[in-house]
Amino acid sequence: MRVDIVTIFPAYLDPLTLSLPGKARESGLLDLRVHDLREWTHDRHRTVDDTPYGGGAGMVMKPEPWGEALDALATPNTTVVVPTPAGRPFSQALARELATRPHLLVACGRYEGIDQRVLDHAAARPDVAEVVEVSLGDYVLNGGEVAALAIVEAVARLQPGFMGNAASLAEESHEDGLLEYPVYTKPASWRGHDVPDVLLSGDHAAIASWRHEQSQRRTAERRPDLLAAASLPGGVEVRPSV
Ligand code: 6GU
């Protein structure tokens, strides 16, 4: 999969060259490139923003540099991803959907956002399959860069062959619509806290059913909104403790 990220702060994306995404890059699973939007400016000050039509606080990103960035980077089948608090909520399901796309172009906005015509123009281009505005959640970041880190990491680790252990992908939080159960390692007793007996029992069926119950309990307590959507295959009855 190819991923291009366009930003006025390329250094913000440096973490993507480290750790797991770094390995994916080295192995060729992820062809990731970070671009400075100012490459596509032509004035002495490399201007990327201007005052909003209609007035109001803050600045808006100018359309021209974004148009040239798309001209340079769009391929015959590009999905443009625009991090914005006004976007569609990011989720494991959306990560899975984006992971199937051959090319993502992540457009990181700053200031009050990007001129709307950039997105309208992108959506109308024959070399753009879709424009997806994505929000990480109901809070405000200074720009799209931190969101781009999260989105690209969530998508990259779903590439076939990316994870060392494919089973851990299937078992983790959100893949089955429930939160993950608590995990423990040695020692069996630590500072007066003991690992639950069932995990030391060697009874694999009992362990599986304990873990499923724990997942349901946690989800009911912390994220009851997820339970309505989750498939609940004949599990235990769970009531929130709060
Ligand atoms: Cl995706 N972008 C920005 N700028 N702020 C956010 C966000 C995204 N998600 C939550 N807040």
Place of tokens 């123009």: 121
160 CA to middle of ligand 1, Å? 28
CATH code of 72's domain: 3.40.1280.10
Going by pLDDT thresholds of 50, 70 and 90, the confidence category of residue 235 is very low
Contacts of 153 (CB under 8 A, 6+ apart): 16, 20, 21
135 CA to middle of ligand 1, Å? 5
Residues 148 and 221 in one domain: no
Look at residue 6 in the predicted model and tell me its pLDDT. 98
Pocket of ligand 1 (CB under 6 A): 83-85, 87, 134-137, 139-141, 143-144, 147
In the 8-state DSSP scheme, what is residue 114? Answer: B
Instruction: Please check if 12 is assigned to a binding site.
Output: no
Look at residue 230 in the predicted model and tell me its pLDDT. 64
45 CA to middle of ligand 1, Å? 27
Look at residue 236 in the predicted model and tell me its pLDDT. 46
Is the CB of residue 95 less than 8 Å from the CB of residue 132? no
134 CA to middle of ligand 1, Å? 8
Cα angle, residue 118 at apex, residues 117 and 120 outer, rounded to 5°: 60
Average pLDDT over the chain, rounded to an integer: 91
So what's the ipTM on this one? 0.93
Q: Is residue 234 part of a domain?
A: no
Residues 161 and 205 in one domain: no
From 82, 94, 119, 135, the mutation candidate for ligand 1 (largest count of ligand atoms within 8 A of CB) is 135
- Between 8-17, 130-139, 168-177, the lowest mean confidence (pLDDT) is in 168-177
Burial call 87-120: b when 16+ CB within 10 Å, e when fewer: beebeeebbeebbebebbbbbbbbbebbbeebbe
Going by pLDDT thresholds of 50, 70 and 90, the confidence category of residue 130 is very high
Q: Tell me if the bond preceding 15 is cis, omega within 30° of 0.
A: no
* Per-residue pLDDT reduced to its tens digit, 192-221: 999 999 999 999 999 999 999 999 999 999
Domain span including residue 201: 172-229
In the 8-state DSSP scheme, what is residue 136? Answer: -
Q: Given the CA of residue 87, which atom of ligand 1 is nearest to it?
A: 1
Residues 178 and 157 in one domain: no
